[in-house]
Chains A and B, each alone.
Chain A
Amino acid sequence: MAEVRLEHVTKRFADDVVALDDLSLEIGDGEFLILVGPSGCGKTTALRLVAGLEKPSAGTITIGERVVNGVSPRDRDIAMVFQNYALYPHMTVYRNLAFGLKERKTPKPEIERRVTEASAILGLDDLLKRRPAQLSGGQRQRVAMGRALVREPEAFLMDEPLSNLDAKLRVQMRAELKRIHQRLGITTIYVTHDQVEAMTLGDRIVVMSNGKVQQIGRPQEVYSSPTNLFVAGFIGSPPMNLLRGHVADGHVHAGELSLPTSAATPADVAVGVRPEDLSIVGPDGPALDLEVDVVEPLGNQVVVHGTVSGSVVETGAEEENDVPMHLEGSRAPLTAVFDPADEPRPGDRIRLGLAPERAYLFDLRTGDAIANEVEASR
């Protein structure tokens, strides 16, 4: 086990595309670090640089005490799990697991011991004689994990290892991964675009966009105090509602909403509201008038989508394949999460309020978060 350090790492591809821009990261010994961001943000490139599959254009990468910039992947003592598993199709599960050890001239009894151990941890005992084609998706995923485990490497690198599994299996494997990490405590760098995985698995998460780090922190920290608009829009499911707002007279106004704020400048802000911070309020006081559009009951909660008056703020976290919203005039989409008891119907108009200290403010020009110190409401 070892710590992994990236210092001012930049990766420029031949066509002058900058995939990573001056990335500095320190992954502690035994830490589970998540790189998360939308596709094309550079997270996979960062992982491949640590693996040695790509060479950095600038900067140094250190594993343990050793600078590994010129070291080939085989000599870095890392193991990688690929998104599509990359199992060797012509080898049995046993030989898939043993391949890395054989290539390193590990003595046979030792190979056998480690393969047995890993297959016990992952429940692969009965599958050792099968070939990848004869395995289900979940089994292949476990073999891919096993191939990394048997190596007993300094660090695990995982590139979206769960993204090809169906939803139920993904939840199971997520817990399994966490269990394995708690048991073995091997330094792990985990790339994902799924922010639920990021939140649940990581000791710390690194939110990336356009080759740059947006925020590094513990999952809860990133969730509750995003440093900029991008992180605010990216982390959280359903994502934070963001409305164009205006600060004047110690209040921030966004559509029909008006909340006291400590912030004075700048005048133009984005007001962020987590869906779960909204609640249905009576007819008095400032509130958002939500026109309910779609209701998604999830059993333990209801997700309500609708529109309010105001205008929406783009964060850059929107994925290319997001469905574009067609909004009339000065309406903005809004999502709220309620208790199932409060389930509204499509077409309803409901009044939503929130505690002033639960509002996030961002500078519209720079996207940076603005401190909003308001005493918790009476």
Chain B
Amino acid sequence: MSETQTIEPAAGVERSGDAAPDEEPEHRFLFSAWHLVLLPIAFVMVIPLVWMLVTSLQTLEETRHYPPTLLPSSLQFRNYTDVLQQAPFTRWFVNTLIVTIVVVLGNLLFCSLAGYAFARIKFFGREVVFILILATLMVPFQVVIIPTFLIVRGFGLIDTLGALMLPNLVSAFGIFMLRQFFLTLPVELEEAARIDGASRLGILFKIVLPLSGPALATLAVIMFLWTWNDFLWPLITIYSAQNMTLQLGLATFQGAHQTNTNLLMAANVMSMIPVLLLFFFAQRWFVRGIATTGLKG
């Protein structure tokens, strides 16, 4: 949707130079047949979020009402304070934040190093090793849960945040993605830097990475979402409440006999805030590409 909106005014401007002015209104008209498809899809996407928000402000009785009430009779903001009091929500939030930040930074660093090596350094067996790494993308997580668990236990990290961080510091996906991006950067820039006296690491950190903003941002967002929302691995490795992450902690709101849906939704809303913020700010990065502007124009 946003694409049609940004392209149309540009096309209009281009046309206005050489075309007759009476052709213009056609291009200013922003409605497109696509909207008939996109608007319903957007509606379907938004409904669960709205419902979550609404439920988080309802009383417990209202949440159990059938048919569901879409507008609360009063806004129960105390649901939010109740969550914070009844559960170590802040603790979980901080845990999740620490794990996520470490995993994101780890991926940015290690995937950059590995991706650059696979993209630019010639070494024996490079292609084979790269294909092996890619092949691990095809192995389902369920298959490696037990071996990974045993390794992490070997390090004595079970029931610590380390168990959540260590196995995820580098990812095959990140290596693959960054390698592909690095390959698109003009190799002359790196040759110029080599002649200018930069070392391999210097080239990576001073030339390649500053030009890889969009790719790094994309990887960071993907790893952030993935780590923030991960449930299965924390469920297996974390037992004690003070080491839980948000997703794991939220699950404790669901009892076997009773679920406080309004509190659960209030907690959900709070856990989503960082993700929403991230999307808001990272979006700008996706569309920014400056990598080739130093070359001939």
Contacts and interface: CB of A to CB of B under 8 A. Distances in A.
Given A74-B198, A88-B207, A103-B197, A82 B191 contact: yes
B294 A103 contact: no
Interface in A186-201: none
Interface in B252-296: 290-296
Contact of A74 (B186, B188, B196, B297): B196
B189 A88 contact: yes
A89 B196 contact: no
A87 B194 contact: no
Measured as residues with beta carbon below 8 angstroms from the partner, the interface class of chain B is 20 to 34
Interface stretch (A132-140, A169-177, A361-369): A132-140
Contacts of B295: 84-87, 89
B126 to A, nearest CB: 13
Interface in A211-238: none
A100 B292 contact: no
A114 to B, nearest CB: 13
Measured as residues with beta carbon below 8 angstroms from the partner, the interface class of chain A is 20 to 34
Nearest to A157: B195
B188 A86 contact: yes
Given A140-B296, A164-B296, A86 B197 contact: no
Interface string A146-161: 0100010000000000
B109 interface: no
B290 A133 contact: yes
A239 interface: no
B294 A79 contact: no
A133 B195 contact: no
A104 interface: yes
A226 B210 CA distance: 50
A132 B195 contact: no
Contacts of A103: 193, 196-198, 202
B189 A132 contact: no
Q: Which of B199, B290, B294, B296 has the most CB of A within 10 A?
A: B294
B172 interface: no
A51 interface: yes
Given A104-B197, A147-B196, A88 B191 contact: no
Q: Which of A52, A74, A137, A140 has the most CB of B within 10 A?
A: A74
22 contacts: A51-B191, A51-B195, A74-B198, A74-B199, A80-B191, A80-B192, A82-B191, A86-B294, A88-B193, A89-B211, A89-B291, A89-B293, A89-B295, A90-B211, A99-B196, A99-B198, A99-B206, A100-B195, A100-B197, A103-B193, A103-B197, A103-B198
Interface of A: 51-53, 72-74, 78-80, 82-90, 99-100, 103-104, 131-133, 137, 140, 147, 151, 164
